Amino acid sequence: MNKKENIITSNSELKIRGLLVEKGVRVSRKESVDELSSRGYGVIERKELLLTFYEALYLLDKQMLEIEDEDGEKVDFQRLVQRYESVNENAWAGYLVYRDLRSRGYVAREGFGSRVDFRVYDRGDYAKDAAKYLIVSVQEGKPISIQDLARSLTESLSLKKELVLAVINRRGEIVYYSVSELTLK
């Protein structure tokens, strides 16, 4: 068995090992894949689990995951953030929103389409129902065009989902606003 695929048990807490790859963190051990995917983490690819950077950051912060690079060197939180920022200029904001949603008991999956950052499932409903919310993250001081917001709203309405704006202030606090269409008669 490869040393990168071991599960480490410390303080009776499950610790999973992952390998840093181009698109995130890959987890190979079957027990780890099953454990994480049942909790709404990652995407299974060829019997392995690929965690997004924000999922890996969250699990690393919770001390549930240890990450190594191709050379077998340990990857810490800061290095993982830097790697994430190299592929996404809004990496830190994405992580903050993901962490906040998870801490509130929601399962958040990668978004799609125009500007949708996350699909969010109602608490306890992951894998039972489709996502209920679509999240668009906005940082205070970084404007979003009304056209982009309207496109996201149209997309969410066509999918029968509720659009939520996650506004991150300068201190990293997040306030959520429900976005809906108003029709005046």
Three state DSSP letters for 78-93: HHHHHHHHHHCCCHHH
Whether residue 160 is found in the same domain as residue 83: no
Distance CA 70, CA 4 (A): 10
- 37 assigned to some structural domain: yes
- 184 assigned to some structural domain: no
End-of-domain residue from the set 87, 109, 137:
87
Quote the pLDDT of residue 14.
Answer: 59
What letter represents residue 146's amino acid? I
**Rounded average pLDDT over 146-158:** 91
User: Given pLDDT bands bounded at 50, 70 and 90, which one contains residue 23?
Assistant: very high
Considering the entire predicted model, what is its pTM? Answer: 0.86
End-of-domain residue from the set 57, 87, 117:
87
Instruction: Note the residue count of the chain.
Output: 185
**Rounded average pLDDT over 58-78:** 94
Write down the mean pLDDT value for the chain: 88
End-of-domain residue from the set 33, 57, 87:
87
Q: Does 2 have pLDDT greater than 60?
A: no
Range of the domain at 80: 3-87
User: Given pLDDT bands bounded at 50, 70 and 90, which one contains residue 125?
Assistant: low
Beta bridge partners of 133: 120, 162
Distance CA 163, CA 29 (A): 36
